[in-house]
């Protein structure tokens, strides 16, 4: 690899990681735009947009707006893939090579490939509701992993050492699981709601009020756990904790307004943006309550300890 390219990759490695966090969360928002505009089958086949063409062409049954909205979202998937690829290249050329960073970057690049496949299945099954839900859940998982990648660049490669009590660690694990259930419940509400992505798309045949109540109950559970976590954290990670509390409260308000106003299109996309923000904030708090030493520091401490033992022998 040319020296100039290696220097470029290493200089902007952290910028690439920040970009992939934004891109993984952002692609979920653009996906919601596809849904609320009814453009989910604007490109009715995959990997082509329409039979015989990778790009939108005049079609008697599909409006050009729907075609370009869906095609634009597919194109953005390629952009996310390029950013993830830059993360992987930067991790690969870094010296000494850091296996954990390489693996985390590989998750990002591989995740984009998997998402492209899931997107194709979603289109080919006519926007079957559960395939759409999987698409969003994977996006949120990749967003979490992207935050971990960004944190790994400033951390060392030693084992994770918790900064908080064992009870706080356990609560964070359970809270992460509740967050996953909260996002999943949100996909069920959307699957049964008015925005199908296309008038012919199969829907989840369950009452929206019941699903919305389950979603709200999980939010209240998450908030309650967040209050408990605040007491257990003590003086650690206060700023990330405050950001998470503010983000969750804002997301809750958006969700309630969205429900009370009949789920307007713009609030659907804002709510998906909020979901990504909550995942980012929760993952950031997760990384802020742990520290990883640099291996050279670990080695230096071991040598110092060894010298101290020898001097007292």
Task: Express each pLDDT in 4-53 by its tens digit.
Answer: 999 999 999 999 999 999 999 999 999 999 999 999 999 999 999 988 89
60-64, 165-169, 215-219: lowest mean pLDDT where? 60-64
pLDDT tens sequence across 152-163: 999 999 999 999
* Beta bridge partner(s), residue 290: 162
Taking the CA atoms of residue 9, residue 71, residue 275 and residue 257 in that order, the dihedral angle to the nearest 10 degrees is: 150
pLDDT recorded at residue 297: 52
The phi, psi pair for 126, rounded to 5°, reads 70, 35
d(CA 83, CA 150): 13
The predicted-structure confidence for 189-241, as pLDDT tens digits, reads as follows 999 988 888 888 889 999 999 999 999 999 999 999 999 999 999 888 999 99
Rounded Cα distance between 88 and 167, Å, is 35
117 Cβ contact partners less than 8 Å away, ≥ 6 residues apart: none
* Entry pTM: 0.91
User: How far apart (Å, rounded) are the C-alpha atoms in residues 86 and 105?
Assistant: 9
Which of helix, strand or coil describes residue 160?
Answer: strand
Is 305 exposed, middle or buried, given 0-12, 13-18 or 19+ CB atoms closer than 10 A?
exposed
Residue 272 CA to residue 257 CA, distance in Å, equals 14
Q: Spell 78-102 as b/e; 16+ CB within 10 A means b.
A: eebbebbbbbbbbbbbbeeebeebb
Preceding omega of 90 cis (within 30 degrees of 0): no
């Amino acid at each position: 690899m040319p020296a100039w390219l290696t220097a470029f990759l290493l200089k902007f490695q952290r910028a690439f990681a920040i970009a992939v966090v934004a891109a993984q969360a952002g692609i979920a928002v653009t996906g919601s735009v596809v849904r609320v505009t009814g453009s989910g089958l604007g490109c009715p086949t995959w990997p082509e947009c329409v039979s015989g063409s990778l790009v939108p062409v005049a079609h008697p049954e599909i409006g050009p707006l729907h075609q370009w909205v869906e095609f634009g979202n597919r194109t953005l998937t390629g952009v996310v893939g390029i950013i993830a690829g830059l993360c992987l290249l930067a991790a690969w050329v870094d010296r000494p090579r850091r296996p954990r960073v390489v693996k985390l970057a590989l998750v990002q690049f591989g995740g984009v490939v998997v998402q492209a496949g899931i997107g194709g299945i979603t289109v080919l099954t006519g926007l079957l509701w559960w395939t759409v839900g999987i698409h969003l859940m994977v996006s949120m998982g990749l967003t979490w992993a992207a935050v971990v990648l960004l944190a790994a660049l400033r951390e060392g490669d030693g084992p994770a050492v918790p900064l908080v009590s064992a009870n706080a660690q356990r609560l964070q694990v359970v809270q992460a699981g509740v967050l996953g259930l909260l996002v999943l419940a949100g996909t069920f509400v959307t699957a049964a709601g008015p925005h199908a992505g296309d008038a012919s798309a199969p829907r989840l045949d369950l009452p929206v009020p019941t699903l919305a109540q389950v979603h709200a109950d999980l939010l209240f559970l998450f908030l309650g756990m967040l209050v408990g976590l605040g007491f257990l954290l003590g003086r650690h990670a206060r700023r990330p904790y405050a950001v998470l509390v503010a983000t969750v409260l804002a997301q809750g308000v958006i969700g309630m307004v969205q429900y009370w106003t009949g789920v307007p299109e713009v609030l659907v996309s804002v709510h998906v943006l909020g979901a990504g923000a909550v995942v980012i904030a929760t993952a950031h708090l997760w990384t802020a309550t742990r520290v990883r030493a640099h291996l050279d520091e670990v080695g230096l401490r071991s040598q110092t300890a060894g010298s101290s033992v020898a001097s007292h022998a």
